[in-house]
Amino acid sequence: MDRGTQQDGVALSDHEKKDVSARKHPRAQVLYETIRLEGEQELNRPAWALAWSGVAAGLSMGFSLVAMGLARAALPGTPWAKLIINLGYPVGFLIVIVARQQLFTENTLTPVIPLLHNRSWGTLRRVLRLWSIVLVTNLLGTLAFAWVMHGTAIFAGDVKLAFAAIGNEAFEGGFLSHFMRGIVSGWLIALMMWMLAGADARALIVVIITYIVGLGQLSHVIAGSSETLYAVFNGDASPADYWVRFLIPTGIGNMLGGMALVAALSYAQVAADAAES
């Protein structure tokens, strides 16, 4: 057998060296560049394409509410039931990510990397344009979904009662509580996007991370909007409650979690490695 030279380890054939290379995890720089290029593509997409994708994502996220409501209506009201009910929470995220739809919390990571790479007013304007379009259209999608779920007889009465209960639970806590939970939620979702850039088992990563978000009742501005807006349509909360108690603190928290705790730290890690090389 033709063996290669031994370099700081056992002697391997050329075929075995290729096998080792294929099994290695990508370096942080590879993940960084993957996300940077993806972010550049998103920043350059036409506004109408971002808008339609954002509406689709908002509608898709509503299926997390549907999955949890169906499970809640079928299970007894025991403490362990929430372990199963929250398995429905990842459904919307899976649809959005597999279908490549635009989700606001995903965009707290991908566009920020190009901004950190090219710190200019032009890049900042493109980031703000992307955020505003995606956030508004995501929320319009959740609004339409909650309105349809509440105003139609698609699901039976016990399921709609479960939807209302989930919506009321999503409202629990004040401004500071949603802000802090929003930071952790944004952190986890942005970390998930970072991991997906170099992962094979993508669906499993999405399910695990978003299941933690749902089980921990961590506030997510888009998934939570489907839930809280249902409660508003049901008369259990007012539009002011939605804006002040949920949307504003959760949105700010999600942004801070995605930008400060992931994008900046990941960028610093790559910059430090580059400086040492």
Predicted local confidence at residue 117, as pLDDT: 79
Tokens in use for 152?
């139609």
pLDDT tens for 163-212 read: 999 999 999 999 999 999 999 999 999 889 888 887 778 899 999 999 99
Asked whether the beta carbons of 211 and 90 are under 8 A apart, the reply is yes
Q: Which residues pair with 3 in a beta bridge?
A: 13
CA-to-CA separations, 196 to 98, 106, 173, 200, in angstroms, rounded: 11, 11, 31, 8
Give ∠ CA 147-151-153 in degrees, rounded to 5: 130
Instruction: Give strand ranges (E) for the chain.
Output: none
CATH number of 19-272: 1.20.1080.10
Which parts of the chain sit beneath pLDDT 70?
1-26, 28, 261-267, 271-277
Predicted local confidence at residue 2, as pLDDT: 47
Predicted local confidence at residue 113, as pLDDT: 84
Predicted local confidence at residue 36, as pLDDT: 84
Predicted local confidence at residue 1, as pLDDT: 45
Give ∠ CA 211-233-215 in degrees, rounded to 5: 15
The domain spans of the chain are 19-272
Q: Count of CB atoms within 10 A of residue 151's CB?
A: 9
Burial bucket for residue 133 (CB in 10 Å: 0-12, 13-18, 19+): buried
Q: Count of CB atoms within 10 A of residue 205's CB?
A: 17
